[in-house]
Structure 1
Amino acid sequence: MATRKVDVLIAGGGPSGLSAALVLGRARRSVLLIDDEKPRNAVVRQSHGFLTRDGIEPMKLRQLAREQISQYDYVHFEQDCVESIEKAGKLFLASTRSGLAVYSRKVIIATGMKDDLPDIPGLADAYGKSIFMCPYCDGYELQSRPMAVFGQGENLVKFASVIWNWSKDLIVFTNGDDHLSANQKKELDEHGIRIIETAIAGLMSEKGMLKSVVLKNGEEIQREFGFIKNSGQHQSARLPDQLGIRLKNNGGYETLRHGLTEAAGLLVIGDAKNAFTSLIGAAGEGYEAGVALNDDMIQEDWEKSVKP
């Protein structure tokens, strides 16, 4: 088994992990960033809201980041997947799918989330192309177009009101009886939002571009774009579980300030912490985490270097 020893292991190569790697590389900390290069947002053609990079392809953003970080000899990348992590004395020991053993002083978990889409025929074909989850990421490009909202349960009306900000031509599809109260239905109706509780037979699209929603009663309703309230998101990796870190109700891990956790030396940032974080928000968390970890290591090194 191959073995590596570094100051910081970063699991996950999205904006949060890459940002942390940049800060730590500039702080002259040896860093190994491990990522399987299968990001959640790979289905999206463009990413928005990232200052100076608005509209960039998600993989291009990662490529540019790696090219810039690669000038720092302290940072190295591996295409792999961390499968287990444990404490080994004062260090962490992580094992990867390829058989690599990594010993590190600190660990940053930035593995993010994965989607498990509802079982609606045709949804996967359109997801990321004409059906999205985040209106702040994609709403501007779809403004005033015939829109569908797919969702059920708590906060459905609130979610519909958010999408309504970008398009008033809006229909809510609950894919079955959602047991909305009379007041909730009235609220939607007062804002010109039609609600359809009939079960969905499937979505019709062409090259991922939504054309219509077909109901099980045979009715076909023309729509061009949509937002889904719940993409079935879940943790991409459950590594913090192995060190006793618990999940919150929203599916993200419990953390302290800067992404620090109750396991000393372990940080969780980005979507793994928040369930959903914007690209620029994730990058900000990576910067914050990198500074916090380096400050900890400076203090540790300072105390060790005291002359007798």
Structure 2
Amino acid sequence: MQYDCAIIGGGPAGLNAALVLGRARRNIILFDNNKPRNAVTHESHGFITRDGVKPSEFRMIAHREISRYPSAEIANHEITAVSKDNDIFQLMTREGRTVEAKNIILATGLKEILPDISGIHDFYGTSLFSCPYCDGWELRDKRLVIISEGQNIFHMAKLVHNWSRDIILCTNGQQNLTSEQKAKLQSKNIQVFEQRISGFIGQSGHLQQVTFEDGSTVNRAGGFVTPVWVQAVSFGERLGCETNQMGGYVTDSYGKTNIHGVYAAGDASVIAPAQLIIAAAEGSRAAIGVNTALTEAEFE
């Protein structure tokens, strides 16, 4: 069987794309390897009617809704290779199954690389997070730390200041703040620590102290860290998809890449903050793009 579209990735972007295309009566298959980026997340926020939903519950609801549409199939398999021949895509699963599709939607998301600091993974997802819009409310008015080795640390400090006025910034040995930025932070009582971090002290993922290589410590109850984001898989690059400065796929207003038949949605296109509601909207956008292309082809 040749599908109208194969969707790679079972996060909110892929799930919403499957829903829209299923409702459009397109024969589609969604590949979900059940390895979500937000596996460490206890609750997802900022999605109206689903604020505070557990990621596993969100997926269960989505699968149930998609299953109402007989032309939509969900396959719990990992795709290991994608190729294109005569405008038809061949997708290979880890088990060796080959699937053909007229279009594909890359909803594979991103992979986050945290700073190389001992013990950081023990606290990430419980008291250290990456998105203030997702978890700032839960950390409101607490003593917070912002850890960033990149140039966006000043922006993050200004953003987190909305939720707490007790903030410190840790650059982990990097000199990534200008003297003007430091002066502005000092005026807001935000202290900057430029020495390297040696680790963290806390219990059951709940942060209590940040420790530095010079032997000093500072009490903190949580905070935010800025990871480096990279594509979770490289299917798009292998197919020739153009990428932007952030490493995301360049798309038009309907999620279409520069490669005919290839669409990208959600975090894979990196055009907005990595939030569930935005990723889901991106999935809907790409699905409409696919359905529009299929409809136009039928009338040529």
> Is TM more than 0.5 here?
yes
8 A Cα contact 2:154 2:177, kept in partner: no
* AA partner of residue 241 (structure 1): E
**Alpha-carbon offset, residue 80 of structure 1:** 1.6
1:179, distance to aligned residue in structure 2 (A): 5.2
8 Å contact from structure 2 (residues 209, 221) kept in 1: yes
Match of residue 249 from structure 2? 253
* 8 Å CA contact retained: 2:242, 2:258: no
1:98 to 95, 98, 102: 95
- Structure 1 residues 179 and 42, CA, compared in 2 at 3 Å: closer, same or farther? closer
Aligned AA (1:253): Y
Cα distance between partner residues in 2 of 1:197 and 1:277: 27
> 2:148 corresponds to which residue?
151
In the alignment, does 2:225 pair up with 1:228? yes
| Aligned-pair CA distance for 1:182 | 2.1
Which AA in structure 2 matches 1:143? R
Could you list the runs of 4 or more consecutive aligned residues of structure 1 that deviate by over 6 angstroms after TM superposition?
Answer: none
Q: Quick one: which amino acid aligns to residue 253 of structure 2?
A: R
Name the counterpart of 1:272.
268
For residue 15 of structure 1, report the CA deviation from its aligned partner.
0.8
Structure 2 portions without partners, runs of 5+:
none
TM-score by length of structure 2 reads 0.96
Q: String of CA shifts for 1:57-95, please: whole Å, max 9, x gaps.
A: 112101110011111111111112212212121311111
The residue identity in structure 1 corresponding to 2:140 is Q
Q: Which residue of 2 aligns with 1:118?
A: 115
After TM superposition, give the deviation of residue 177 of structure 1 in Å. Answer: 4.4
The one of 58, 67, 70 aligned to 1:70: 67
* Deviation of 1:222 (Å): 0.8
What secondary structure sits across from 1:294 in the alignment? helix
The answer as to 2:93 corresponding to 1:82 is: no
Is the CA contact (8 Å cut-off) linking 1:130 and 1:209 kept in structure 2? Answer: yes
Partners of 2:53 and 2:150 in 1: how far apart? 34
Taking the aligned partners of 1:179 and 1:71, their CA distance within structure 2 comes to: 51
The number of residues matched between the two structures is 299
Matched residue SS, 2:299: helix
Note if 1:51 corresponds to 2:43: no
Q: Provide the aligned C-alpha RMSD in A.
A: 1.3
Task: Letter of the 2:212 partner, please give it.
Answer: L
Residue pairs, 1:115-264, within 5 angstroms: 115-178=112-175, 180-229=177-226, 231-264=227-260
Aligned to 1:306: none
**Are 1:38 and 2:25 counterparts?**
no
CA–CA distance in 2 between the matches of 1:195 and 1:112? 32
**Paired letter, 1:168:** R
- The answer on 1:285 being equivalent to 2:282 is yes
Report if aligned partners of 1:151, 1:174 keep a CA contact under 8 Å in 2: yes
Residues 243 and 204 from structure 1, CA distance in 2 versus in 1: closer, same or farther, beyond 3 angstroms? same
1:298 alignment partner in structure 2: 295
Aligned partner letter, 2:123: A
Match of 1:11 among 8, 13, 34: 8
Shift of 1:226: 0.8
* Distance in 2 separating the partners of 1:91 and 1:272: 22
Mapped to 1, the partners of 2:20 and 2:197 lie a distance apart of 48
Residue 107 (structure 1) aligned with residue 110 (structure 2): no
**Alpha carbons 1:132, 1:227 under 8 Å: kept:** yes
What is the SS of the residue equivalent to 1:251? coil
> What whole-Å deviation, never above 9, does each CA across 1:226-251 have from its counterpart, x for those lacking one?
1012x122111111112111221112
Structure-1-length-normalised TM-score: 0.94
Q: Give the Cα separation in 2 of the matches to 1:70 and 1:38.
A: 20
Structure 1 residue 180: Cα displacement: 2.9
1:263 to 1:177, Cα distance in 2 relative to 1, 3 A: closer
